């Protein structure tokens, strides 16, 4: 029955193509599968479509509730696919790459840049959907009853609660010292692609000092943004630099304003080996405590395996005691999932 109903229906073929084909390299496989299910109609007819069917719609000046120029990225098909691996079409070796230790990846591999870009877009899709759902209001029973007293208590007018405004700022600090330089590249690429769903986001590089690179997120092309990022690090002598988190975090606290609605996300291995210590305790712990007291949350994404935490000069437990949350992000999967859940 379904076969006879849909055979020869070009609109169905095009609709399914736009949903399932995220890359034109998969077009032939789709057409073959479509022909097997619905017959040969249109099997050999190529479809003209862009490389990615994700639709990006710019909202009127606004945050997630329509203020301050946010964007909505719509891809409802992802609702059926809960895991990062399932919401992106992994090609060939990408299934292995996403779970490999990032320290073993080529830091300038164009294919990994493309993978990070697609991960960032899919993260933005999921965040946009989640934030849109948070705007859905529920019936306000108390207000509805009071309003309907004039109708003798008969429920005629149903009132709904007001949506909660969410204006949580996200501030990203990326450790670019020699021990973290390899992962900071991918961190920037994913944030670059997902940035539209972060309200008033700011991005900083740090080693023994801190440099804001937020303006690079406005570049139209990821490769241009990354090239300018590397040039910025070279100008500021931050390529393979040394970690002094005390001086970097002190400079951050003195020059960057944030509120109780701000999330501070720090990419770092928590090894402040060049920072000052008092009685064997790094003084940067106190600065993490200041951040945690002033911000809504401090999240540290640590690229080291958890079995190495607190060994030698690692400050993981000290930073956790200061109020920070620590997560392991040793692979691209872990990094993407941590950013998606912010």
In this structure, the answer to whether residues 17 and 106 fall within a common structural domain is no
In this structure, the answer to whether residues 114 and 185 fall within a common structural domain is no
Worst-scoring range by mean pLDDT, 48-62, 166-180, 232-246? 48-62
- What is the pLDDT, as a whole number, of residue 263? 93
Domain count, the chain: 3
In this structure, the answer to whether residues 6 and 116 fall within a common structural domain is no
In this structure, the answer to whether residues 194 and 78 fall within a common structural domain is no
In this structure, the answer to whether residues 10 and 94 fall within a common structural domain is no
Token pair for 68: 């301050």
Establish if 129 belongs to a structural domain: yes
In this structure, the answer to whether residues 33 and 61 fall within a common structural domain is no
Establish if 266 belongs to a structural domain: yes
In this structure, the answer to whether residues 230 and 291 fall within a common structural domain is yes
Q: Which domain holds residue 320?
A: 169-340
In this structure, the answer to whether residues 48 and 59 fall within a common structural domain is no
In this structure, the answer to whether residues 41 and 60 fall within a common structural domain is no
Establish if 190 belongs to a structural domain: yes
- What is the pLDDT, as a whole number, of residue 249? 96
Alpha-carbon distance 221 to 164, whole Å?
34
In this structure, the answer to whether residues 183 and 322 fall within a common structural domain is yes
Which of 5-9, 96-100, 125-129, 227-231 has the highest average model confidence (pLDDT)?
227-231
Report whether pLDDT(206) > 80.
yes
Q: What confidence category does residue 71 fall into, taking pLDDT thresholds of 50, 70 and 90?
A: very low
- What is the pLDDT, as a whole number, of residue 126? 81
Report whether pLDDT(83) > 80.
no
User: How high does pLDDT run on average in the chain?
Assistant: 76
Establish if 251 belongs to a structural domain: yes
> What pTM, to 2 d.p., does this model score?
0.65
Establish if 152 belongs to a structural domain: no
pLDDT digits (tens, 9 = 90+) for 117-160: 888 888 888 877 766 665 556 677 777 777 777 777 666 677 77
Establish if 39 belongs to a structural domain: yes
pLDDT digits (tens, 9 = 90+) for 19-40: 777 666 677 788 888 887 776 5
Establish if 208 belongs to a structural domain: yes
In this structure, the answer to whether residues 118 and 92 fall within a common structural domain is yes
Worst-scoring range by mean pLDDT, 36-40, 122-126, 199-203, 338-342? 36-40
Domain end point (choices 53, 69, 92): 53
Establish if 91 belongs to a structural domain: yes
CATH number at residue 228: 3.40.50.410
- Residues for the chain: how many in total? 342
In this structure, the answer to whether residues 59 and 43 fall within a common structural domain is no
Alpha-carbon distance 97 to 116, whole Å?
11
């Amino acid at each position: 029955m379904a076969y006879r109903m849909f055979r020869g229906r070009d609109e169905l073929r095009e609709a399914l193509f736009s949903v399932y084909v995220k890359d034109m390299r998969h077009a032939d496989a789709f057409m073959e599968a479509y022909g097997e299910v619905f017959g040969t109609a249109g099997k050999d007819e190529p479809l003209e479509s862009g490389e990615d069917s994700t639709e990006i719609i710019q909202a009127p000046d606004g945050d997630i509730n329509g203020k301050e120029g946010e964007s909505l990225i719509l891809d409802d098909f992802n609702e059926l696919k809960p895991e990062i691996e399932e919401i992106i079409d992994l090609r060939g070796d990408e299934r292995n790459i996403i779970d490999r230790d990032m320290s073993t990846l080529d830091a300038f591999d164009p294919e990994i840049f493309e993978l990070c870009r697609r991960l960032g877009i899919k993260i933005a899709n999921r965040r946009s959907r989640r934030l849109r759902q948070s705007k859905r209001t529920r019936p306000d029973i108390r207000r509805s009853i009071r309003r309907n007293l004039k109708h003798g208590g008969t429920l005629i007018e149903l009132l709904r609660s007001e949506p909660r405004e969410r204006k949580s700022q996200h501030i990203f600090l990326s450790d670019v010292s020699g021990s973290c330089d390899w992962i900071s590249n991918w961190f920037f690429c994913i944030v670059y692609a997902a940035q539209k769903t972060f309200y008033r986001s700011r991005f900083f590089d740090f080693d023994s000092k801190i440099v804001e690179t937020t303006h690079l997120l406005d570049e139209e092309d990821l490769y241009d943004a990354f090239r300018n990022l590397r040039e910025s690090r070279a100008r500021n002598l931050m390529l393979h630099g040394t970690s002094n988190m005390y001086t970097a975090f002190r400079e951050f606290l003195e020059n960057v304003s944030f509120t109780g609605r701000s999330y501070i996300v720090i990419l770092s291995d928590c090894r402040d080996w060049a920072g000052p210590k008092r009685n064997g305790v790094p003084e940067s712990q106190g600065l993490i405590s200041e951040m945690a007291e002033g911000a809504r949350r401090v999240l540290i994404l640590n690229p080291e395996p958890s079995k190495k935490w607190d060994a030698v000069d690692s400050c993981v437990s000290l930073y956790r005691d200061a109020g920070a949350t620590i997560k392991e992000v040793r692979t691209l999967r872990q990094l993407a999932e941590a950013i998606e859940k912010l």
